[in-house]
């Protein structure tokens, strides 16, 4: 039931570095044709830094690791479902197109034998979760699936302290690369401390030790947090003010469930006059580059 592209299958067979990429950002993150341009650019960033990209999604009910160019465009033009891991079986059985979130991308990447994945920001504990119990499945997926996730922290619209606490409870190792703080997605700092790693080779050594130490190390994934590039990062107070306004709009519109994050990201783009989109694209590209370098370092140490 899993289709792996020729390029990705050959790379896995010959132990070449591969980086998984999600498809939700294509179908639910950006408008057409900008979404297609960004998806293509992320794959190019991975290739230019020595690894093979594997954008993941469900195409006509078939879980696919390594979307082809025409499939990227198909997703970019709309109509694909948003799939977390819980939604995969239904999309497969119903022959649907589905764009994979962090959780679903991790599960399909692991099934194909890919252990490095680049995304923008993970899901987490939503603000007000003490009332709504709205907690992303990304967190539990990180606790059970052995994939290293390179990200710019959790999306800033979330409760970042609670998200970090939940990751600690689940036993998920979280490190910073080039930072001693948990990035706040659009902003480089959150005030939340992280253990810092010095370079991709050190990241690869720790991740390899976790992969090989299943009897004693954390059984799931690892989170590597990379701050957004300084030239496009936004001021933390400015972002927080925009988030408060976006959350108020979501409350008035009675937005709930899986539609919350897409609604808030779109509202953030309006509240920041498009600045948040530019930051999002820059950090996506930066994370893809970083993941490729880590994947190459991992290959050299195996």
Hey, where are the domains in the chain?
Answer: 3-301
Three-class HEC string of 60-80: CCEEEECCCHHHHHHHHCCCC
Supply the pLDDT for residue 143.
97
Domain 3-301 -> CATH class? alpha beta
Instruction: Quote the pTM value.
Output: 0.95
Examine the residue annotation and report whether 22 is marked as an active-site residue of this protein.
yes
Tokens (6 digits) for 294: 């880590």
Name the nearest CA neighbour of 222 among 243, 194, 244. 194
Examine the residue annotation and report whether 155 is marked as an active-site residue of this protein.
yes
CB 58 within 8 A of CB 84: no
User: Which whole-number Å values give the CA distances from 232 to 194, 235, 278, in the listed order?
Assistant: 22, 10, 7
Which of 22, 43, 181, 271 is labelled catalytic? 22
* Distance of alpha carbon 100 from alpha carbon 106, whole angstroms: 9
Supply the pLDDT for residue 247.
86
Output the tens digit of pLDDT for each of the chain's 302 residues: 899 999 999 999 999 999 999 999 999 888 899 999 999 999 999 999 999 999 999 999 999 999 999 999 999 999 999 999 999 999 999 999 999 999 999 999 999 999 999 999 999 999 989 988 999 999 999 999 999 999 999 999 899 999 999 999 999 999 999 999 999 999 999 999 999 998 999 999 999 999 998 778 888 999 999 999 999 999 999 999 999 998 899 889 888 777 787 888 888 889 999 999 999 999 999 999 999 999 999 999 98
Size (the chain), residues: 302
Axis crossing angle, helix 275-301 with helix 200-212, rounded to the nearest 10: 60
Which of 71, 82, 141, 155 is labelled catalytic? 155
CB 118 within 8 A of CB 200: no
* Distance of alpha carbon 66 from alpha carbon 9, whole angstroms: 9
Name the nearest CA neighbour of 257 among 137, 164, 141. 137
- The strand pair at 98-100 and 52-59 is best described as antiparallel
Nearest-10 Cα torsion for 20, 25, 27, 33 = -110
Supply the pLDDT for residue 170.
97
Supply the pLDDT for residue 146.
97
């Amino acid at each position: 039931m899993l289709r792996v592209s020729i390029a990705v299958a050959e790379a896995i067979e010959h132990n070449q570095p591969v980086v998984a990429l999600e498809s939700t950002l294509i179908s639910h993150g950006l408008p057409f044709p900008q979404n297609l341009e960004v998806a293509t650019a992320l794959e190019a960033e991975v290739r230019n830094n020595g690894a093979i990209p594997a954008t993941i999604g469900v195409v006509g009910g078939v879980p696919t690791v390594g979307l082809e160019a025409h499939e990227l465009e198909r997703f970019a033009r709309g109509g694909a479902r948003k799939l977390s891991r819980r939604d995969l079986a239904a999309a497969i059985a119903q022959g649907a197109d589905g764009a994979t979130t962090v959780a679903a991308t991790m599960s399909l990447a692991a099934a194909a034998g890919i252990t490095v994945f680049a995304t923008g920001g993970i899901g987490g504990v939503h603000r007000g979760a003490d009332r709504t119990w709205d907690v992303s499945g990304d967190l539990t997926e990180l606790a059970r699936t052995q994939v290293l996730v390179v990200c710019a922290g959790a999306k800033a619209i979330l409760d970042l302290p609670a998200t970090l606490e939940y990751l600690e409870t689940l036993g998920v190792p979280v490190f910073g690369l080039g930072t001693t703080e948990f990035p706040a997605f659009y902003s480089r700092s959150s005030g939340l401390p992280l253990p810092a790693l010095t370079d991709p080779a050190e990241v690869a050594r720790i991740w390899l030790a976790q992969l090989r130490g299943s009897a004693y190390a954390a059984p799931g994934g690892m989170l590597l947090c990379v701050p957004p590039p300084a030239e496009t990062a936004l001021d933390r107070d400015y972002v927080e003010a925009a988030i408060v306004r976006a959350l108020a709009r979501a409350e008035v519109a009675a937005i709930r469930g899986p539609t919350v994050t897409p609604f808030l990201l779109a509202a953030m783009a309006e509240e920041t006059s498009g600045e948040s989109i530019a930051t999002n694209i820059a950090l996506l590209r930066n994370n893809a580059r970083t993941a490729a370098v880590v994947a190459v370092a991992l290959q050299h140490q195996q």
